Structure 1
Amino acid sequence: MDIINDITYDTLKVRFEDDICFLQIYRPEQNNTINDRLIEEFKLVLDKCEEDAKIIVLEGLPEVFCFGADFKAIQEETGGDISQQERNPGALYDLWSRLASGPYVTIAHVRGKVNAGGVGFVAACDIVLCEDKTIFSLSELLFGLMPACVLPFLIRRMGFAKANYLTLMTQPVSAQQAIEWGLADACEENSKNLLRKHLLRLRRLNKTGIKRYKKYMNTLDDFPEVSKADAIAGNIEVFSDEENINKIKRFVNTGKFPWESE
């Protein structure tokens, strides 16, 4: 639990160094997966960053940056009175849109494994730095799902063909491959040093200049709003499919993938 300015964070660790916000996804017991609480807390941090930060550094754990949706939480919801139609994928989409278009420079500092929705966080950031052992993957189609909300951000960053290939193959790719495809910008064995070097340069920018630049860039690329309705509809469709939900439940209960026998 982290407390910043009288706000208690259960899923994040947050610290400010002058006008730089270091925001760490911190759910170690849940493999740094995404739940509703994380989204709510993340938005509170971004609210503060609107005026107080010119740079946001998004980090995860050394072993896993973010591993996507919290399947256990989804299982609990679908086992109760909450239907998948009542889920709001738009909240996460809006969060990524704010990372992509907000009045600050966003840096994803990625270590360990990053999968599914975790790739959404990465693709939404302005700059992506990683250690040379980082592994990126999209596993959704293995469960009959699809990265509907991730893809608009991913296509914007790495292009349609490579985003399509990464989605269809569901295989992890290395940091070097991610750089060649445009998903990451730079990697080093010591990614903390790589981050330090970038921050030394970015500190020279002022908040007003960044704000004006990001506002201008938003006029050149209106993809978040144009793609939002289709992305949300696609997400709701696959998460409303009973067969897909059963695959998720089985995986949570047994650890077995859909193609594995009982």
Structure 2
Amino acid sequence: MELVRYEVKKRVAYITLNRPEKRNALNGQMVTALKNAFAQAQTDEQAKVIVLRGEGKIFCAGADLESLQQLQCNTFEENIADSQHLKSLFEQIYACPKVVVAALNGHALAGGCGLATVCDIVFAAEGVKMGYTEVKIGFIPAIVMVFLLRKIGEGRAKEMLLSGELLNAQQAYNYGLINFVVNENELNEAVENYVQKLCVGNSAQAMAHTKQMIAAVQNLDSLEKGLDFAATQNAHARGSADCQRGISAFLNKENLVW
């Protein structure tokens, strides 16, 4: 059985975690399969948007039992390599030039919550729970912390990471961890409608440029540098083929489909 399924429908690449019997838990092979799938989606000319989802009733339960047991036997060097493996997956998803939408059909726990956190837009069914439970087993949510702080701020991140408690879907929405809460029976339709609007209504080039700017501007150490960077990017965007096409269509009152 494929650990991760990859398919493209209507310009959307669907990446599906496919270990339902293990609650889609992460191990080294699963992380490798996800990295390969996202690399394929990033270069796939037939795919404009990416959807990440889980097979079965759980989106992802974090690290699987065998991986947790192996941690006790690993050398420091082995643990560094394993941590870098997961880090590069999260970084790959976060920096992907295509919009990545997570569709949480079930709980997203620990590393599974990390997967959702690094996605751009998150849909969750009403019964979903999310959280970082690492401190409850003497571990730390180290890698995802970097992304979580950016996404929801220090106050909420501290509350989640230090307590290890789970949030229900509405709480996760209130915290800014997810964007949309929908009925479980309507999740697939809601995600499909959303991604098709992106595919038809938005320039892929402009979305990629915007994502790159959102990530980069947070690394600048002053308001002035941020604004200078933004002004330069603004000028570059004005000269792009997509911008010229879009402005021309707007001025001529044409119905533009990207």
TM-score (norm 1): 0.76
Structure 1: 5+ residue stretches without partners: 2-9, 224-262
Task: Look up the match of 1:83.
Answer: 75
2:11 pairs with one of 5, 19, 38: 19
Q: Is the 8 Å Cα contact of residues 152 and 176 (structure 2) preserved in structure 1?
A: yes
Task: Look up the match of 1:200.
Answer: 196
1:128-178 per-residue CA deviation (whole Å, 9 max, x = no partner) reads 101111111211111111101111111111111111111222222110010
Task: Look up the match of 1:253.
Answer: none
Q: Is the 8 Å Cα contact of residues 110 and 129 (structure 1) preserved in structure 2?
A: yes
Q: Is the 8 Å Cα contact of residues 55 and 105 (structure 1) preserved in structure 2?
A: yes
SS at match of 2:209: helix
Which letter does structure 2 place at the counterpart of 1:72?
A: E
Q: Is the 8 Å Cα contact of residues 54 and 206 (structure 1) preserved in structure 2?
A: no
Runs of 4 or more consecutive aligned structure 1 residues displaced over 3 Å after TM superposition: 76-79
Larger Rg: 2
Structure 2: 5+ residue stretches without partners: 221-258
SS at match of 1:149: helix
Structure 1 residues 213, 111: closer, same or farther in 2, change over 3 A? Answer: same
Q: Is the 8 Å Cα contact of residues 61 and 112 (structure 1) preserved in structure 2?
A: no
Quote the RMSD (CA, aligned, Å). 1.8
Q: Is the 8 Å Cα contact of residues 15 and 53 (structure 2) preserved in structure 1?
A: yes
- CA shift, 1:182, in A, is 0.2
Structure 1 residues 222, 68: closer, same or farther in 2, change over 3 A? Answer: farther
Q: Is the 8 Å Cα contact of residues 54 and 103 (structure 1) preserved in structure 2?
A: no
SS at match of 1:184: coil
1:84-103 matches, within 5 Å, as 84-87=76-79, 88=81, 89-103=83-97
- CA shift, 1:77, in A, is 6.1
1:142 lines up with 2:148 in the alignment:
no
Aligned residue pair count: 213
Which letter does structure 1 place at the counterpart of 2:122?
A: V
Task: Look up the match of 1:175.
Answer: 169
Tell me, in whole angstroms, the C-alpha distance in 2 between the residues paired with 1:38 and 1:222.
Answer: 30
Instruction: Give the structure, 1 or 2, with the largest relative contact order (CA under 8 Å, sep 6 or more).
Output: 1
Task: Look up the match of 1:227.
Answer: none
Identity in percent: 25
- CA shift, 1:213, in A, is 2.2
Structure 1 residues 188, 18: closer, same or farther in 2, change over 3 A? Answer: closer
Task: Look up the match of 2:234.
Answer: none
Task: Look up the match of 1:209.
Answer: 206
1:108 pairs with one of 93, 96, 102: 102
Task: Look up the match of 1:164.
Answer: 158
- CA shift, 1:181, in A, is 0.5
